[in-house]
Structure 1
Amino acid sequence: MTTPWILGLTGGIGSGKSAVAQHFIDLGVHCVDADHAARWVVEPGKPALAAIVEHFGPDVLQANGELDRTALRHRIFQAPEERRWLEALLHPLIGEEIVASLASAKSPYAILVSPLLVESGQHKLTQRVLVVDAPEQLQLQRTMLRDQASEEQVHAILKAQALREDRLKHADDVLLNDRDLPWLQSEVERLHRFYLTLHGGQP
């Protein structure tokens, strides 16, 4: 049995990458979400959570023993060196979690879904990159609607994410998501048929 090749799937906030990933899953493709992996590695009982508590103190825990993400975010938001400490701890663990999950894939290719695919270096785990792109105005509208967020908040998130140009530079395929869901799903199906013809992500 051949090992599945890995497709990296990324896109800015509100670009529609979750809808794209979901349709690939519906088509039977094994998807690993980097955000989920980031949550798994800090679950109660995991060594990473113990290290975080030891470093930041018990006030980064909720009453039920789970990580209080908001409290932790406040701590690292003000202090770049604390953020670097946390990233140095978590990134390798998240990477291991992702690799293990991708290795269990049974589909001809597997997908790593990550909003920070390019910035985090996770694209090195993939053989091909698909960027879901959308005009910035549309990203703003979708995110404000979905998260009940203000325009300023969404602008701040857009600024923190990779520049669109950087993402697109790494793209082998670009899916411009500026129409309705049925059209988007038909584009995913078209890409899926194409991906099934590839070996190691290459034609």
Structure 2
Amino acid sequence: MPPIDPPVPSACTGVVLAAGAGTRYGKPKALAEDGAWLRAAITALRDGGCAPVIVLLGATGPDPAAVHLPPETEWRWVADWATGLSATVRAGLRAAAEAGTRYVAFLPVDTPDIGADVVARVLAAARASESGLARGVFSDTPGHPAVIENKHWDAISAEAVGDAGAGSYLGASQDMVCVTCDDLATGNDRDFPVVGAR
């Protein structure tokens, strides 16, 4: 990554991972429930303490009107989204570097019950830790959001290949702070449509 200005202390860029095609779901999840999941993810990051919040789009095309983004929402089109999650994660890290923040918080579009209270809890844990790494944990299973301090970004970018995003790096980090959030959300990924949902 190119050199950037010194990061804003404690500031965090929120990144909504919404570039995938949603093959199992049947359509890009950025379009799920008429965009309700996407709006929920944006709100969770924004109200949870992230600024800016940036949506990463891919399968829906480079026109943000296709997903009905809320007004003044920042977005980036990931041109190589089809190569896998790694492309989207790298795009998110670049966006955070451009924003000049010290942290980035990744939240997938398909975890709609994760709200601002979860984001705020995980972000606070990352800021309080020496590692600068924290992620939400649900039913003893690592989930999202994942909050990552900028000292890890180059290594994650180098390791991310194909459909492997930041998961392998985070999983191997002995100093990752696991933040239990069972009292706030299920953290479940929604991979398949609910019968009767639009």
Tell me which of the two structures has the higher relative contact order, counting C-alpha pairs closer than 8 angstroms and 6 or more residues apart: 1
Which of 1 and 2 has greater Rg?
1
Is TM (by shorter chain) over 0.5? no
Q: TM-score, normalised by structure 2?
A: 0.30
